[in-house]
């Protein structure tokens, strides 16, 4: 499909030759010659955005003043927050966020018909790839049947969703689906879809080269920045607008330069490096900013490690973590099977247009920080946040302090115990390493295994997530740890649920080529599926005996995973402490089964001859790892595994669907329902109204994540969502997860603010999705919201710092809107969630002048009136808010309206960005 570009006669259009072929491009040097400014000192990440301005300059949406602003950015020390209209080249989705996006597109086709428009106007104008990777759940593990059984179960659970996606693939143009069992979207993107420099024909049939850019409906879209592809996560709402040709409104960002020097030392991994980077950047504060990595250390950093660092940009709060094009980029493109002519074009384009990182690369940055990679040590992060970095030799003592903090104030002598389910009675309590009197314990029998569980027992050890399974150095490392452990006679502890879920089939190819999969299988790390699994809460159930012991005895069970997220309530309902670690450490922790053990220094097991085994005895050298990577990770394996990437297996090919312009919504479906967003929509937008007499639905603390607001994992029949399904005769076994049911607004409304660990400060000591209803009694968030809606009372949510951190999930905003929440007032917002709220017509506000929920003594009995919203509301302006307390007293404060740009104001006036797009398309047709 022809790309939309500026005029052919643009002064900045030039030609270059690569692979023996001429190709047009938009030249930054030509822009300088045309007098538009000096761009020589711009970071590469910002040059990508500048090129976008040159290519789409039309005098209206993008002007020459927008282009000149980039020169001013460099002259002003890396700051010039001008609003610009940015158009990414493509959109990436996964199925949890992709299904609701396709649901919205299908609903928009119905909506445009009701407005008298043409349904065919609702079509992606930019290429869209949706990778089904979030639906496989680890029901079966630790045996050779696990993979096939989990795949079979996945299709049983999700056939309605897959039928719908197959309909979408045929109904919409520019929309491709990568079937289940292929890999994780970010790894598939990095290894196959991304090109670093994209090409397409313009309106006149001329080939045009331009940087590969994208937005994705998953926050870890940033992973591809490791290959110099500028991309970041947006909510499904914003992604849908981008698909439909709507530019992304953004401010020219600040760019923080992160200098890497030195090289990694023996015994450390890319995971250890990224956990330190996350800690440093969270402390620095980079929310809403680009981070670009530079420095001599990049000469020693493989692209796989770069991708690991780029992947976790959401964890350090940045919009993206970008690595410029250099020789390592070309090496990776070659190794992963990219076309030779494409690689030649990437090099020629980067050098010709100023994107190449050479020895003389020295851009201006807004701010900088530095890290010597030679100082990195083995580490983990946890138990609740990715930025909670812990050096491995301090992990056991840190866990002991965590337990003490959790148990402090309890009667620790009243330890609940679970008696054996067999003969022999209850054994004497065994020592718990690091036990300061605060640990609880229980006793369990599973088959022939009898053991003690206690605070810190590891019940899940999972090699999962694109963050690390995309990196052959740590995956080969994990296999070698398994090999050495197996040779010594070590095995996983019987209470540890182990799993291996690679991000692509290529991983299995090189593990098998290295004969390492057999070693992993021997200690329980069998292949369970190609998908996100444990990282997103699809860890599946632990053994019933373990679950009962954990819950009956109120144990703080733990998990160790090679993922990027460890927020409360995310990994498993039975696990309260979660730790991020490299894949080799995940294997090591499975052998120990206990967070109380100092695995860096203490004995981790006993070999076949009764000798003590230490971590150093099973840890591979960098030389061992590098030799196997060189031998088994080949260009041929990438080409073979991605040859039929869109074809799928027999199960996918057997999925039947209809061929229709609009979707025939099945009335009985509990997975896919026509959402109410566009029902009875008027042809013209409304106006923003003041918020009068709003009541609090919830008062929440700091670092409330989108997992807290809209959980992705499993739920029980006692929840509002569970009751909804039970009423429709869905058995509990078929509940699946919140994430899989994001195509049904009825389930998702009931699941909003329903995380089992969320704490509403309107209630004392209560966890879960509860609040006070209009009668003042405790009830579910959903039931209270519906009761307030019946009375016509608007609602607000109060939050602390970093409200909406974490995943890009649009349902955190959609659910908020459908519950009747008109505003969220917090101390600060994470970037994506703030944008999503605006995209759903919910106004974000920030406290000012030192005010917050505590200083204002909010209890949930107050009502709020926010004025100054009607008429000429300026973006980012302060407006008055009057709080009326239960005793009738009032207090007026100023709050900052986080409608950041003029176009965002139009979105809110329309009721949301999709309403805005739909009205414009209806008028155009």
Question: By the 8 A CB rule, do 103 and 240 touch?
Answer: no
Q: Are 455 and 440 in contact (CB under 8 A)?
A: yes
How far is residue 291's CA from residue 565's CA, in Å, rounded to a whole number?
Answer: 20
pLDDT digits (tens, 9 = 90+) for 866-917: 999 998 899 999 999 999 999 999 999 999 999 998 889 999 999 998 999 8
What is the arithmetic mean of pLDDT over 216-220? 90
Q: How confident is the model at residue 424 (pLDDT cuts 50, 70, 90)?
A: very low
Pick the range with the lowest mean pLDDT from 291-300, 312-321, 733-742: 733-742
What are all long-range contacts of 634-639, with beta carbons under 8 Å and residues at least 24 apart? 634/335, 634/510, 635/334, 635/335, 635/336, 635/337, 636/337, 637/506, 637/509, 637/510, 637/513, 638/191, 638/192, 638/335, 638/336, 638/337, 638/506, 639/337
Strands (E), 382-420: 389-391
Q: Among candidates 160, 50, 148, 143, which has minimal Cα distance to 99?
A: 160
From CA 831, how far away is CA 808, in angstroms rounded? 9
According to the model, what pLDDT value does residue 838 have? 94
pLDDT of 9 reads 53
Joined tokens for residue 318: 């940045």
Inform me whether the pLDDT recorded for 426 exceeds 60: no
Q: Which two tokens stand for residue 779?
A: 């009830």
Q: Is the pLDDT of residue 569 over 90?
A: no
* Distance from C-alpha of 407 to C-alpha of 300, rounded to nearest angstrom: 45
Q: What average pLDDT does range 589-596 have in this prediction?
A: 97
Residue 579's pLDDT is what?
95
Q: What pLDDT is attached to residue 134?
A: 85
Please give the share of the chain, as a percent, with pLDDT higher than 70. 97
Q: What is the pLDDT of residue 409?
A: 60
Cβ distance 129 to 190 under 8 Å?
no
pLDDT at position 633 over 50: yes
Whether 301 has a pLDDT exceeding 60, the answer reads: yes
Say which range, 2-16, 44-58, 532-546, 729-743, has the weakest mean pLDDT.
2-16
- pLDDT on residue 423: 40
903: left (phi over 0), alpha (psi -120 to 50) or beta: alpha
Tokens of 331: 């090496």
Confidence of residue 524 (pLDDT cuts 50, 70, 90): very high
pLDDT of 62 above 70:
yes
Q: What is Dmax (Cα atoms) for the chain?
A: 88
Determine the average pLDDT of the residues in 61-87.
94
What would the 3-class secondary structure string for 808-834 be?
Answer: CCCHHHHHHHHCCEEEEEECCECHHHH
Confidence of residue 532 (pLDDT cuts 50, 70, 90): confident
Q: What is the pLDDT at residue 415?
A: 39
- pLDDT digit string (tens) for 827-869? 999 888 999 999 999 999 999 999 999 999 999 999 999 999 9
Greater confidence (416 vs 609) lies with: 609
Is pLDDT at 420 greater than 50 in this prediction? Answer: no
What pLDDT does residue 808 have? 73
Domains, the chain, ranges and CATH? Answer: 90-375 (3.30.499.10), 428-633 (3.30.499.10), 691-924 (3.20.19.10)
Tell me the mean pLDDT in the region 23-48.
96
pLDDT in tens, 221-266: 999 999 999 999 988 888 888 898 889 888 999 999 999 999 999 9
Q: Over range 146-156, report the average pLDDT.
A: 92
Rounded to 5 degrees, φ, ψ at 820 are 95, 15
Q: What is the mean pLDDT of residues 398-421?
A: 64
Question: Over the range 153-177, which residues count as b (16 or more CB within 10 Å of their CB) and which as e?
Answer: bbbebbebbbbbbbbbbebbeebeb
Is pLDDT of 359 > 90? Answer: yes
Q: What is the end-to-end Cα distance of the chain in Å, rounded?
A: 21
Percent of the chain with pLDDT over 90: 77
Residues 343-353 have a mean pLDDT of: 97
Residue 97: pLDDT band (50, 70, 90) is: confident
Q: Which of 531-545, 798-812, 885-899 has the highest mean pLDDT?
A: 885-899
Task: Confirm if 527 and 502 have CB atoms less than 8 A apart.
Answer: yes
Peptide bond into 345 cis (omega under 30): no
| pTM across the whole model | 0.86
Residue 260: per-residue pLDDT = 98
Average pLDDT, the chain: 92
């Amino acid at each position: 499909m022809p790309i939309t570009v500026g005029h052919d006669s643009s002064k900045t259009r030039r030609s270059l030759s690569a692979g023996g072929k001429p190709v047009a491009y938009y030249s930054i040097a030509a822009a300088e010659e045309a007098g538009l400014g000096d761009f020589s000192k711009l970071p590469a990440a910002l040059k990508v955005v500048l090129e976008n301005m040159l290519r789409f300059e039309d005098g209206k949406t993008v002007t020459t003043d927008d282009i000149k602003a980039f020169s001013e950015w460099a002259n002003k020390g890396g700051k010039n927050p001008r609003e610009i209209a940015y158009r990414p080249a493509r959109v990436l989705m996964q199925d949890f966020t992709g299904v609701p996006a396709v649901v919205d597109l299908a609903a928009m086709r119905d909506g445009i018909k009701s407005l008298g428009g043409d349904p065919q106007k609702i079509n992606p104008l930019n290429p869209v790839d949706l990778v089904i990777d979030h639906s496989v759940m680890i029901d079966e593990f630790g045996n050779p049947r696990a993979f096939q059984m989990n795949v079979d179960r996945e299709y049983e659970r999700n056939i309605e969703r897959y039928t719908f996606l197959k309909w979408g693939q045929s109904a919409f143009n520019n929309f491709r689906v990568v079937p289940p069992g292929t890999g994780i979207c970010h790894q598939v993107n990095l290894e196959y879809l991304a090109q670093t420099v994209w090409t397409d024909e313009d309106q006149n049939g001329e080939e045009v080269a331009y940087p590969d850019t994208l937005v994705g409906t998953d926050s870890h879209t940033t992973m591809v920045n490791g290959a110099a592809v500028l991309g970041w996560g947006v909510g499904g709402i914003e992604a849908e607008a981008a698909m439909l040709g709507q530019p992304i409104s953004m401010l020219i960002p600040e760019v923080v330069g992160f200098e890497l020097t030195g090289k990694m030392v023996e015994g450390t991994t890319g995971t250890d490096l990224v956990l330190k980077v996350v800690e440093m950047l969270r402390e620095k504060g980079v929310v809403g900013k680009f981070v670009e990595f530079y420095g001599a250390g990049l000469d020693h950093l493989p692209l796989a490690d770069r991708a690991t660092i780029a992947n976790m940009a959401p964890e350090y709060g940045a919009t993206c973590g970008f690595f410029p094009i250099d020789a390592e980029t070309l090496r990776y493109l070659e190794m992963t099977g990219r076309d030779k002519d494409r690689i030649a074009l990437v090099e020629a384009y980067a050098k010709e247009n100023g994107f190449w990182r050479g020895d003389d690369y020295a851009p201006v940055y807004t701010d900088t920080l530095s890290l010597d990679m030679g100082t990195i040590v083995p580490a983990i992060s946890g138990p609740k946040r990715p930025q909670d970095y812990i050096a491995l030799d301090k992990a056991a003592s840190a866990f002991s302090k965590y337990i003490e903090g959790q148990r402090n104030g309890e009667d620790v002598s009243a330890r609940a115990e679970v008696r054996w389910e067999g003969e022999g009675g209850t054994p004497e309590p065994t020592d718990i390493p690091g036990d300061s009197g605060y640990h609880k314990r229980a006793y369990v029998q599973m088959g022939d295994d009898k053991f003690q569980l206690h605070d810190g027992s590891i019940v899940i050890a999972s090699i999962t997530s694109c963050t690390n399974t995309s990196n052959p150095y740590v995956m080969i490392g994990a296999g070698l740890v398994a090999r050495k452990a197996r040779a010594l006679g070590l095995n996983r502890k019987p209470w540890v649920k182990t799993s291996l879920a690679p991000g692509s089939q290529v991983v299995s190819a090189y593990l098998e080529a290295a004969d390492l999969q057999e070693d992993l299988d021997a200690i329980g790390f069998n292949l369970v599926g190609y998908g996100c699994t444990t990282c997103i809460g699809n860890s599946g159930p632990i053994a019933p005996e373990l679950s009962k012991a954990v819950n009956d005895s109120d144990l703080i069970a733990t998990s160790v995973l090679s993922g990027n997220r460890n927020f409360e309530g995310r990994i498993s309902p039975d696990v309260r402490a979660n730790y991020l670690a490299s894949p080799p450490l995940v294997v090591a922790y499975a052998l120990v089964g206990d967070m109380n053990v100092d695995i860096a220094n203490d004995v981790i097991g006993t070999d076949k001859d009764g000798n003590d085994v230490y971590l150093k005895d099973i840890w591979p050298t960098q030389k061992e790892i590098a030799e196997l990577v060189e031998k088994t990770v080949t260009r041929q394996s990438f080409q073979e595994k991605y040859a039929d990437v869109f074809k799928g297996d027999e199960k996918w090919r057997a999925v039947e669907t209809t061929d229709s312009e609009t979707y025939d919504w099945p009335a009985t479906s509990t997975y896919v329902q026509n959402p109410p967003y566009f029902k009875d929509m008027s042809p013209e937008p409304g106006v923003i109204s003041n918020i009068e007499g709003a009541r609090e639905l919830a008062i929440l603390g700091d670092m409330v994540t989108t997992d807290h607001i809209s959980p992705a994992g499993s739920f029980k029949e006692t929840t509002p969502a569970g009751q909804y399904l039970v009423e429709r005769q869905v058995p509990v076994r078929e509940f699946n997860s919140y994430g899989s049911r994001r195509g049904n607004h009825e389930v998702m409304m009931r699941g909003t603010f329903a995380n089992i660990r969320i704490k509403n400060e309107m209630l004392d000591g209560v966890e879960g999705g509860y609040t006070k209803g209009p009668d003042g009694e405790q009830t579910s968030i959903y039931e209270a919201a519906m009761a307030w809606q019946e009375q016509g009372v608007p609602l607000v949510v109060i939050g602390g710092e970093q409200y909406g951190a974490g995943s890009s999930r649009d349902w955190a905003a959609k659910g908020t809107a459908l519950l009747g929440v008109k505003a969220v007032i917090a101390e600060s917002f994470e970037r994506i969630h703030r944008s999503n709220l605006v995209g759903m017509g919910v106004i974000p506000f920030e406290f000012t002048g030192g005010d917050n929920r505590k200083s204002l003594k909010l209890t949930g009995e107050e009502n709020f009136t926010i004025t100054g919203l009607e008429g000429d509301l300026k973006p980012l302006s302060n407006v008055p808010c009057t709080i009326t307390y239960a005793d009738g007293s009032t207090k007026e404060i100023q709050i900052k309206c986080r409608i950041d740009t003029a176009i965002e104001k139009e979105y809110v006036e329309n009721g949301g960005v999709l309403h805005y797009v739909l009205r414009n398309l209806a008028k155009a047709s």
